[in-house]
Structure 1
């Protein structure tokens, strides 16, 4: 009878299989739950999941106090932290929930509060928190192009247009649309319209009550001082370069956005918590009635994005 080969002569995969056989196999049985096993808590009936969109999370305790002072136009509500920077907002009714949802975006001391609808049996880690509604203004449009049709075309190149009549308004000199913005992408500064007559027209964008954003990379959620992209570029600058080269690099790393990208809300009387000059506050962009304008008779223009 042939003797078995010693372990060092075995193939590596055979050795691994041999090792695997020495390990205890964990049970893979699934646990079946019924709806009765869930938490029977009415606070989940009208609930939003919220996250502070910032690398440095401010005090949740301070946020709770300010929200309670700011949201006095609805019934008392509950706030509880689910995870660091993520919390649950429980309301007394669906009307109260919609009042907060429809009035977003909300900001706390310059930090955007991202809201998502509560989903049963979903861990908070699975919420994406990668978009938020913002009121966007489109400026420098000719008077005969201030129409809902053209405003919708422009808005669709910025983000997802929120499909309700009250989310699109035509004013005397600009259009404003409430748009779901992808927070993973830099803010757009301009759009270029290619007209049917062959001419190009540049449209300037402004964002109402824009939360904290980076003047270098254009992302919402941090300032230029804490921009990881810019700081990584700074770290890569050699120390032994000429003054001319260093000046050129420093020029490239200057702000690429203007603070004027943030516009005041069109309507007056925004909701703000009573605050002293040194205390944090909650503010929101305002909303109003839709404009029942006449659709444009112009052919739909082709819209291209300019480079930022």
Structure 2
């Protein structure tokens, strides 16, 4: 590669990546190694951790709450993907167009993305309060109004709140990908007589494949590590009906002061999220497609 003056220009050296690498090592790799060590110890936060071998892992396997929390985490993750993916995809494709007032409507729609998870959870907890919120004024629709008092209602609220806040993020991904699709493909399709629906399924959807993979992986990782929303909206209730793994980790570590078991749960979540993400990439064929493109 040469620059305008004709002199050779090499690739950037490792020094350019050093600050990011150091930051990642200090705030990601090092804490993960510490969690890995603590997962095999007994420690209440005071004194020195005592090596416990596989005791923490054995306790988790025999803990019905832990097994149920894994199921709930997977359920919320799947529901989030199923609900958010079509909504964000359609909105992203629409936002990539040139409709009248599109920019203004898109800016308004992206407002939830600017709010913190805590603020959003507090807002919806107040809105859905059975005594003073919307359900108390529309009992014909919400019954007794206590949506968070039953498992189905609580799970529905968690999925709705997550969708309301995070769909704009995935919409941005699809919007950028949709704008990158060559317009000549649509022009050729119009000449062949293809309608809007046919163009979407035969041009837009295939061209969004990589964005779909990226978006779903982000949803899966985010769903498995959801914590703030559950803490503020349901606190794992009613009973343990919404006690997902991330919240159960918090209960074990910071309420029961069992940091060994809490670290084991955290490590398990990292492993599950990593395995699921790798399997999705593998099954999608994204890695093979990338290798083929790099070889061209």
**Which bracket does the TM-score occupy, shorter chain normalised?**
under 0.3
Answer with 1 or 2: which has the greater Rg.
1
Greater helix share, 1 or 2?
2
Greater strand share, 1 or 2?
1
Structure number with greater CO (CA < 8 Å, separation at least 6) is: 2
